[in-house]
Amino acid sequence: ETTKAPNFIRNQVSDEIERGQVTQIVTRFPPEPNGFLHIGHAKSICLNFGLAEELGGDCHLRFDDTNPAKEEQAYIDAIKEDVAWLGFEWAGEVRFASSYFDQLYAWAQHLIREGKAYVDDLSPDEIREYRGTLTEPGRPSPHRERGVEENLELLERMRVGEFAEGEKVLRAKIDMASPNINLRDPILYRIRHASHHQTGDAWKIYPSYDFTHGQSDAIEGVTHSICTLEFEDHRPLYEWFLNNLPVPSKPRQIEFARLNLDYTLTSKRKLKLLVDEGIVDGWDDPRMPTISGMRRRGYTPASIRKFCEMIGVTRADGGLVDIAMLTHAIRSDLEDNAPRAMCVINPLKVVLTNVEQGFEEVYEVPGHPAREDMPVRRVPFTRELYIDRDDFMEDAPKKFFRLAPGKEVRLRNSYVIRCDEVIKDDAGVITELRCSVDFDTLGKNPEGRKVKGVIHWVSATHGVPMEVRLYNNLFMVEQPDRDKDADFLEHLNPESLVISQAIGEPSLADATPESRYQFERVGYFCADRHLSTPEKLVFNRTVGLKDSWAK
């Protein structure tokens, strides 16, 4: 199986290294701490950290923290944890764009002195209106020709808080007629009377993304500043700042196509809405496509990294990626690495009438069919058992190879049993099956007949009760946010979480938070890292057994 898809940036950067155009690369992953990271960010993380790892360079973790109103320390902590959990190491300390605020301010003054920036008194609405459209050039602001001294003084007064929010901005003086709207005198600073999680109340003005990003890259000696395609039109501005400021280095911006996954939202803003509305149980709800949600669900770092390798990196927008590719990545990891266990999700009691009360035998069963390094499991067999309700049918069609009245089935790793009697309560609900064991079938076929079906089971005497959480897609449609004017919440799947009280084999009593298993015939499960305790086991279904990804 080939797992390395084309990655044009890797090819390009390796060529540059080969040709000696660059000796040591420096990349960065620059999240804004305004939410948790999602699977789309994982693509960017794997790309930036992966390049540094493979090509012998450094990757920085830099918080792009220029909008204090939306940012929080809790997000910073979660982002650091997620990156580290994925197995990446940032070079040096964590960095913050906010630690460059002094430098950025000095550079803003530099632009003013060069006649390349001015304080504007237009309101945000007026600025938008003056800026023109794609077909119509912009008009200069009446304040565009302010003198240097006045601009310097106004900027300083903005900085210390003498003006209200929205009263003034600092703009670069570039070209109001440029076909690229980003060059029509972009905003460099806005007034915000907000306290910042890193700089406290030191600043009443905050730099824009555009004025911050490239210069931060330059300060850190970033060689390749990799970002998603929506920043392509910002590249001339990115370069304009680097060319008009005395920056210590000249990073280069390269754009790639963002990841879009079907049935999944990859927008922090929309994911935050799910959290704020209480539709999910926090950012790391196992249904969330956040890295921490996927972790809780049972994804491994290796599976997420493998997925990112499989999707590759292109410049052209690749459309929607099939979520089956993501589940394939985790399924194949767990198939090789998760120990096996039997667990009955919807228990139905079976009494074996020809087994004596108190009878007990214990089977030693491999922890994994192909992994001798895994400990054997001890599986006890007793008179009373549980099987799954789905493995019994009262009026079974001919092709039903599980249990039915008068029919036989093999208990996995144990005997063949026959269903002799079906017990129901007053409402007609089946409460118990009475069955008999053919004791001549342990490890061998029964005499004179074929028994096709094998079902899993758990001893009722020794089984451990547990809560099992069965997750399905959070959304019922491929692209929940396709229609920009409609409410994506309309597409929520009412069955995205189904909770079941299950019974597992005794080996599961040892499950520690984040232990992963294959529940045989059922799927892959992971003990919840927050909720599962030895007293009350809670398992999350990571994925089912069936792989629907077609290469």
Nearest residue to 492 via CA among 481, 500, 508: 481
Q: In terms of CB distance, is 255 or 408 closer to ligand ATP?
A: 255
472 binds, among Mg ion, ligand ATP, none (CB under 5 to 8 A by kind): none
Least CB distance to ligand ATP at residue 225 (A): 9
DSSP classification of residue 403: B
The answer to whether the annotation marks 234 as part of a ligand binding site is no
266 binds ligand ATP (CB under 6 A): yes
The answer to whether the annotation marks 267 as part of a ligand binding site is no
Residues 65 and 197 sit within 8 Å (Cβ to Cβ): yes
30 binds, among ligand ATP, Mg ion, none (CB under 5 to 8 A by kind): ligand ATP
500 binds, among ligand ATP, Mg ion, none (CB under 5 to 8 A by kind): none
228 binds, among ligand ATP, Mg ion, none (CB under 5 to 8 A by kind): ligand ATP
294 binds ligand ATP (CB under 6 A): no
CB proximity list for 468: less than 8 A, separation 6 or greater: 343, 345, 499, 500, 501, 502, 525, 538, 539, 541
Long-range contacts (CB closer than 8 Å, 24 or more residues apart) made by 359-368: 359/383, 360/461, 363/413, 363/414, 365/340, 365/413, 366/340, 367/339, 367/340, 368/338, 368/339, 368/340
- Give 129-140 as a 3 state SS string: HHCCCCCCCCCC
7 binds ligand ATP (CB under 6 A): no
Strands 260-261 and 320-321: parallel
The answer to whether the annotation marks 258 as part of a ligand binding site is yes
Q: In terms of CB distance, is 231 or 539 closer to ligand ATP?
A: 231
What is the rounded CA–CA span in Å between residue 433 and residue 347? 11
Q: CA of 183: how far to CAs of 191, 233, 236, in Å?
A: 21, 9, 8
What residues between 11 and 50 interact with ligand ATP by CB under 6 A?
30-32, 40-41, 43-44
Q: In terms of CB distance, is 265 or 334 closer to Mg ion?
A: 265
Concerning whether 258 is annotated as a catalytic residue, the answer is yes
Return the beta strands (E) in 30-130 as ranges. Answer: 58-63, 95-96, 117-120
CB proximity list for 429: less than 8 A, separation 6 or greater: none
Would you give the distance in Å from CA 204 to the centre of its chain?
Answer: 34
Q: In terms of CB distance, is 99 or 228 closer to Mg ion?
A: 228
What is the rounded CA–CA span in Å between residue 97 and residue 455? 58
Q: CA of 121: how far to CAs of 165, 187, 299, in Å?
A: 11, 12, 51
Q: From residue 241 to residue 260, what is the string marking binding to ligand ATP with x (rule CB under 6 A)? A: -----------------xx-
The amino acid that residue 143 corresponds to is H
Q: Which range, of 103-111, 267-275, 276-284, 354-362, touches ligand ATP by CB under 6 A?
A: 267-275
The answer to whether the annotation marks 64 as part of a ligand binding site is yes
Using CB under 5 A, list all residues that contact Mg ion.
32
Nearest residue to 176 via CA among 211, 144, 223, 222: 144
Least CB distance to Mg ion at residue 251 (A): 18
Least CB distance to ligand ATP at residue 75 (A): 9
The answer to whether the annotation marks 43 as part of a ligand binding site is yes
Q: In terms of CB distance, is 284 or 408 closer to ligand ATP?
A: 284
Q: In terms of CB distance, is 36 or 471 closer to ligand ATP?
A: 36
The residue nearest ligand ATP at its CB is: 40
296 binds, among Mg ion, ligand ATP, none (CB under 5 to 8 A by kind): none
The answer to whether the annotation marks 41 as part of a ligand binding site is yes
Nearest residue to 328 via CA among 550, 55, 494, 70: 550
Least CB distance to ligand ATP at residue 45 (A): 8
Q: Which two tokens stand for residue 230?
A: 């929506």
What is the rounded CA–CA span in Å between residue 221 and residue 252? 11
What residues between 47 and 86 interact with ligand ATP by CB under 6 A?
64
DSSP classification of residue 197: T
Q: In terms of CB distance, is 32 or 322 closer to Mg ion?
A: 32
Least CB distance to ligand ATP at residue 229 (A): 9
Helix axes 209-220, 235-244, angle to 10 degrees: 60
The answer to whether the annotation marks 194 as part of a ligand binding site is no
Active site residues: 32, 258, 268
Which parts are annotated binding residues for L-glutamine?
64, 209
Which parts are annotated binding residues?
32-34, 38-44, 64, 209, 228, 258-259
Which parts are annotated binding residues for ATP?
32-34, 38-44, 228, 258-259
Residues forming contacts to ligand ATP in the complex (CB under 6 A) are 30-32, 40-41, 43-44, 64, 227-228, 258-259, 266-269
